[in-house]
Amino acid sequence: MALSLLLGAGIGVGLALILSGLWPARLSLAQELVRLRHGTPAGEVSGSGWTVWLGRSVAHPLAQRGLPGAAVRLDLAICDKTVERYFGEKAMSTLVFALLGPSVYAVLVMAGLAVAWQVPVWSMLLLGALGFFVPDLSLRSEAGRRRTEFRHALSAFLDLVVVSLAGGRGVDGALADACQGGSGWALVRIRSTLVAATSARRTPWSALGQMGEEYGIRELSELAASIALAGAEGARVRASLVAKATSMRAHQLAEIETAAQSATERMSVVTVGLLVGFLIFTGYPAISAVLTGF
């Protein structure tokens, strides 16, 4: 009976997922504006239908209580995720992890093994709490990786702008030329931001500074402030860009060296563990023979 219920539930969930994939939900106006501004595909903005539906049902009451926090919102912005999708992923992860315990319990019972009913209850609570925080760890890791990629792209972008300014191009022309130098997601966002700033008759540096505040990238905010102080003259702008690009490369080099040293230390820990295991493996027969000889 229990096996039939599990199989029926699995078939029903599979059919529901197939139908949601064949007829995906339409994007709202706000999501379309986000997609046009950042140049992201529609699938990355909307997410899966079930996830967004779950997140939308809990997003409004949690938003009234100030959730998620400012740091999480910055991570969501850099990762192209909405608040609804974030809450939906947390709800889905919690549900999946919570059902692992009862699922294993059902399999053991059908196999004829006697297991106390407290085991699936406690496992459901503990695994559900673990699943609630899994999306946070994934989001933080992805946001850190994307910020690092964005800083590398920004450094290359500034170098291209400096080269264009040295060649006699104006500020707007140099920015337009530098945006065409790559097709990565970071340069696509920079290009979309500059195009939107031109359409709104805003200065490009103020638009980049606002994007730095939205994504939690302080280099963009500092760059916008330094350019605003330098004014619109080409020589001063070029000097500010050269200084900023140099400082960014030095900072990135220091981060790479720190990561390499950390990786080296982790490798030494593994080596010590292998050495200890080898000593135990080779020394145990001798110690056992000595102890059993008395």
- Asked whether the beta carbons of 134 and 144 are under 8 A apart, the reply is no
Alpha helices in 79-117 (DSSP H): 83-110
Mean pLDDT of 240-265: 81
- Asked whether the beta carbons of 106 and 112 are under 8 A apart, the reply is no
- Asked whether the beta carbons of 82 and 92 are under 8 A apart, the reply is no
Identify the domain containing residue 108 by its residue range: 26-144
Mean pLDDT of 139-167: 83
Mean pLDDT of 43-57: 55
Asked if residue 79 belongs to a domain, the reply is yes
Mean pLDDT of 119-134: 82
Tokens of 23: 């007829």
Q: What is the pTM of this model?
A: 0.66
Q: Output 78-81 pairs: Cβ under 8 A, ≥24 positions apart.
A: 78/143, 78/146, 78/147, 78/150, 78/215, 78/216, 78/217, 79/139, 79/142, 79/143, 79/146, 80/34, 80/38, 80/40, 80/44, 80/45, 81/47, 81/139
Contact partners, residue 144, CB within 8 Å, separation at least 6: none
Nearest to 85 by CA among 35, 135, 11: 135
Asked if residue 107 belongs to a domain, the reply is yes
Nearest to 45 by CA among 80, 73, 76, 72: 80
Tokens of 225: 């402030």
What are the pLDDT digits (tens) for 169-216?
777 777 777 777 667 788 888 888 888 887 888 887 888 888 888 888
Residue 15 has a pLDDT of 72
Residue type present at position 159? D
Asked if residue 103 belongs to a domain, the reply is yes
Mean pLDDT of 40-58: 54
Asked if residue 215 belongs to a domain, the reply is no
What are the pLDDT digits (tens) for 20-43?
656 555 656 665 665 555 555 444
Residue 44 has a pLDDT of 47
Asked if residue 58 belongs to a domain, the reply is yes
Statement: residue 270 has pLDDT above 70 = yes
Asked if residue 46 belongs to a domain, the reply is yes
Residue 20 has a pLDDT of 60
Asked if residue 80 belongs to a domain, the reply is yes
Nearest to 192 by CA among 83, 200, 142: 200
Tokens of 275: 């050495």
- Asked whether the beta carbons of 105 and 74 are under 8 A apart, the reply is no
Alpha helices in 111-217 (DSSP H): 118-166, 171-179, 185-199, 204-215
Q: Which SS3 state, helix, strand or coil, does residue 178 take? A: helix
What are the pLDDT digits (tens) for 57-115?
666 666 666 677 788 888 888 888 877 778 878 878 888 888 887 777 777 777 777 77
Contact partners, residue 88, CB within 8 Å, separation at least 6: 47, 50, 51, 52, 53, 54, 55, 56
Q: Of residues 148 and 171, which shows the higher confidence score?
A: 148
Alpha carbon distance, N-terminus to C-terminus of the chain: 60
Give the total number of structural domains in the chain.
Answer: 1
**Most confident of the following: 113-122, 141-150, 169-178, 285-294:** 141-150
Contact partners, residue 72, CB within 8 Å, separation at least 6: 86, 136, 139
Statement: residue 238 has pLDDT above 80 = no
Mean pLDDT of 121-126: 82
- Asked whether the beta carbons of 133 and 98 are under 8 A apart, the reply is no
Mean pLDDT score across all residues of the chain: 75
Residue 27 has a pLDDT of 59
Rounded Cα gap, residues 111 and 104, in angstroms: 11
Residue 43 has a pLDDT of 47
Poorest-pLDDT segment among 18-32, 123-137, 162-176, 241-255 = 18-32
Asked if residue 257 belongs to a domain, the reply is no
- Asked whether the beta carbons of 112 and 12 are under 8 A apart, the reply is no
